[in-house]
Amino acid sequence: MNQTEQITRQTFDQVMAPNYAPAAMIPVRGEGSRVWDQEGKEYIDFAGGIAVNCLGHCHPALVNTLQQQASKLWHVSNVYTNEPALILAKQLIDATFAEKVFFANSGAEANEAALKLARRYANEHFGEHKDQIIACHHGFHGRTFFTVSVGGQAAYSDGFGPKPGAIEHIAYNDLAALEALISDRTCAVMIEPMQGEGGVIPATDEYLAGVRALCDKHNALLIFDEVQTGVGRTGALFAYMNSPVVPDILTSAKSLGGGFPVAAMLTSDSIAASLKVGTHGSTYGGNPMACAVASAVLAEVNTPEMMANVNAAEVQIRQRLADINDQYQVFAEVRGKGLLLGAVMNDKYQGKARDFLTAAVAEGLMMLVAGPNVLRFAPALNITESEVSEGMDALERAVAKVCQSSD
C-alpha cells in the first residue's frame, strides 16, 4: 500500500493542531524555483518557504553537503563541539562585525538568546534596574513567549497569561517616540532593519542612525533582528551592511539554512562574555548537519554575482508590477528591497491580499502575504529571469481574475 495515496489536505484537519490554515494543494517535490504538487501541477515559487529557500529547492551544493555530512556525523550535543559548527562560526565572523557566535535552531530561539544576553549584560555592567526592552509596533521576533511579547502584535501575544515584563513598544521609523521613551533604564532596543511580517516596511537610514545614537547615549544594546532580511535577501549579506549603522547583536535564521533549520546570534567579544558557562544553551544548537548546510549556503550566497542577481530580479519584479498596476489599478505602492518586496493594496482592495494569493496558487504561483493588505515576494535569490517572468505572468492572470470577480 502506498501511504501517500491516502494523504490529502483533509488529513491535515484530522491530525494537525488547527493553528495553521495551509493552501489546498500539497507540494511534494521542488527543484530550483519550481515546485510540484500531489497532482503533478507545476508552480513557480515566489514564497521561498517564507524567505527561507534562498537557493531554491534541492540546490545540488546543499544536497551534496547534506548527504556527505549525513554519512559522517549527525549530532553530538554541546557537551562536545564539532567541525561544521566551528567552520560556520568562522565564516560568519569573517563576513560580519561579529567576534562571537551562538547557534540555535530557529529565529525565535536566536532572538530569545539575544534578549536574554542583553538582560544579563545590562545586569552585570549596570545593575538590576536596567531591564527595559524597547521594540516596535508590528515588529515580529518569533513565537516563544519572550520573543512574541517583544514582537509588536497583541493578537499574537495576548491570551497566554502574564507576559514577561519591562517590554515597551513604539512606532517604527519614529525617532521622536524612541527619544521620549529611552532612558538609562533601557537595556536593549530590538528592531528589524526592514519589518517583514509587519508589512515589508523598510527603516530609513536616518532612523537607524538615530536609534544607534540613542542606544549609545543610554548604554543600551542595539539588537538587529535579521532573521528575514539576512543572508543576501536585501542585496547585501545582511541589511545592516547597506545602512549607516552596525548593531551590537544580530540574529539570523530563515535563509541561513536554505531550508534546513539553523539560526545564529552574532555579537562582540565583550558582550558575548556575559554568556558564561551554563547561562544559556540548546541541545540541537550548532548541530553538525545544520551547520554544514549553512556553510554551503553562505559560500553560495555571499558572492557579487548572487547580489547582482538579487538586484536584477528586484528591478524585473518592480517593472512587471508597475505594468500590471497600469492595467488593473490594484496597488497603492511597492516597497521593500532586494528580494523582499511588498505590493500594498490600494483603497479598493483593502484587506484583500489573501484573495490575490489564492488566485495566484490557482494560476501556478506560490506567493506570501504580510498582513491583510500586502502581497509579499520572497523568492530564491538565484531565481532566473525566465522564472521571474513566468511567475509574473501567472500573477498577472491572477490579478485579472480577482479584478473581474470584484467588478
Ligand X SMILES: *Cc1c(COP(=O)(O)O)cnc(C)c1O
Q: How far is the CB of 200 from ligand X (least distance, A)?
A: 11
- Cα–Cα distances in angstroms (integers) from residue 296 to residues 63, 139, 256, in the given order: 10, 30, 10
Tell how far CA 4 is from the center of its chain: 31
Would you count residue 286 as binding ligand X (CB under 6 A)? no
Rounded Cα–Cα distance for residues 250 and 113 (Å) = 11
Q: Is 90 a catalytic residue?
A: no
Binding-residue pattern over the window 232 to 271 for ligand X, x denoting contact by CB under 6 A: ---------------------xx-----------------
Binding to ligand X by residue 108, rule CB under 6 A?
yes
225 tagged catalytic? yes
Residue 112 found at the interface with ligand X (CB under 6 A): no
Cβ neighbours for 280, distance < 8 A, ≥ 6 positions apart = 102, 113, 116, 117
283 is an annotated ligand-binding site residue: yes
Build a one-symbol-per-residue string for 184-203: x at contacts with ligand X by CB under 6 A, - elsewhere.
Answer: --------x---xx------
Angstrom distance (rounded) from CA 179 to CA 214: 7
Taking a C-beta distance cutoff of 8 angstroms, is the pair 385, 312 a contact?
yes
Query: What phi and psi values does residue 128 have, to the nearest 5 degrees?
Result: -65, -25
Q: What are residue 195's DSSP bridge partners?
A: 201
Q: Is 391 annotated as a binding residue?
A: no
Considering only 45, 112, 225, 396, the residue that binds ligand X (CB under 6 A) is 225
Choosing from 37, 130, 146, 254, the catalytic residue is 254
Examine residue 142 and tell whether it contacts ligand X (CB under 6 A): yes
Residues written for the chain: 407
Least distance CB 195 / ligand X (angstroms): 8
224 has catalytic annotation = no
Q: What distances in angstroms separate CA 165 from CA 137, 178, 254, 340, one per listed residue?
A: 16, 18, 28, 32
Quick one: which of 141, 212, 233, 337 contacts ligand X (CB under 6 A)? 141
Q: How far apart are CA 272 and CA 279, in angstroms?
A: 11
Q: Is 382 in the site for ligand X (CB under 6 A)?
A: no
Cell triple for 272 = 558575548
Q: Mind telling me the catalytic residues?
A: 140, 225, 254
Binding interface with ligand X (CB under 6 A): 106-108, 111, 140-142, 192, 196-197, 225, 227-228, 253-254
